[in-house]
Amino acid sequence: MKLDNFRKLLLKKSENSDIENIVYFVHDDIIADMVMESLEKMARAKHKGDAANLAMRDFGVEMDPEHEPSMIHDALSHHASQYKSALHSGRHDLANQHARQIFRIMDMADQAQKHSHGKLDVQAVSPHAWERNAKTKQFTEEDRPVQAGRKKPGQFVTDTKGWRYRGRDYSFLQQAPHESYRGEVRRHGHNEGYPLEHIRINGRHLDIQDVPPEDLKGYKEHPFDKHPVMDHFEIPASQRSPQDDQKWLEDKEKYADSPELDQYFSKLEDSEQRDPEKFKSRGSKPSDPVHKPVDNPLDLSDTATSTPKQASKPTQEVEAKPDISSEDKIKHIMEADIPEDIKRSIVEALQSGKK
């Protein structure tokens, strides 16, 4: 990727000498990855939740800043705990059921946060890189879409869906992420099984417990699974009628007085009374990994890339500064007067092996 013009633009717009120095010596790959990551985040943030129906919008707007986010966190913690125990007990069908519900709740929460006005914040590594393991077929030159010019050889036949995946098999979560996502994986560093333990709701990691195998009696629901939003959120707004929206309002009122909600609050109260300190610290740090180590983690070194990128030669307007060691670069970056998130992104990229 040629980035000389982009470098010149950064230098032209920058009034910060620290940024100017970094622009000179940072490798093209790092700048390219940071630009792509920013564009991806902007695209996701812009459209996420735009197509939400009335029920989803109402759920986001009307949610209590403590109540619903806490329920979502507890529901995801429950299903992740059950999933982990089922998986380690060899009960893969049961593990798949809980994984499917995790995806449904995450999909719902991912859409709802846009309409919550800051009351709900969902942070998680995108599952696309792991899902790609289940969809590896690529177009060849003999395929009609390629011959018609609609697709290119090597392009994947099936798109990944992320949290909207609704298959029956979630075994891809146990694998290393697919190599086609190596650039993205370099940024977050999770190159083994999907890191469920790093999902955060309003800043709290999931509270994943080790459920004894003898306690696995079958698929066990969480009270939030019965929340009416879980019946309404997947129906496109274009396919809903005024009667559907009225039903949502009625279902929401009924749930407020439901036994499921009473069950949730009773469980919460029991947990707090049993161990107040432990209850208070839930999610303050990641739980133990859900997935066992994989035999072949995704190799994130530069030598692992199938088509190594070459740094573009600097033009006369952007002259290269004398080469310095990675350690000196990192020291310079950490001392620079630039935002902390930019510091972290550049340092992580340098530490991953880029010069």
- By the 10 Å C-beta count (0-12 exposed, 13-18 middle, 19+ buried), 130 is classed as buried
pLDDT score, position 342? 60
CA separation for the pair 349, 183 (Å, rounded): 10
- Supply the DSSP symbol for 156: B
End-to-end CA distance of the chain: 16
Determine the Cα–Cα distance for residues 191 and 199; give it in Å rounded to an integer. Answer: 16
The mean per-residue pLDDT over the stretch 2-17 comes to: 54
Cα–Cα distance between 71 and 308 in angstroms, integer? 46
Residues 191-244: pLDDT tens digits? 999 999 999 999 999 999 999 999 998 999 999 999 999 999 999 999 999 999
Average pLDDT value for residue range 98-107: 98
DSSP, res 214: G
Q: Cα(311)–Cα(143) distance, rounded to whole angstroms? A: 34
pLDDT, one tens digit per residue, over 133-185 is 999 999 999 999 999 999 999 999 999 999 999 999 999 999 999 999 999 99
- Looking at the chain, the whole-number percentage of residues with pLDDT higher than 70 is 72
**Closest alpha carbon to 52 in 279, 182, 234:** 234
pLDDT of residue 51: 76
Residue 99 contacts residue 88 (beta carbons within 8 Å): no
- Residue 118 region by backbone torsions, left for phi larger than 0, else alpha for psi between -120 and 50, else beta: left
Tokens standing for 185? 């994986």
Question: pLDDT digit string (tens) for 309-353?
Answer: 333 334 344 344 445 566 666 666 666 555 555 656 666 666 655
Contact (CB, 8 A) for 146 and 153: yes
Angle between helix 4-13 and helix 28-47 axes, rounded to 10 deg = 70
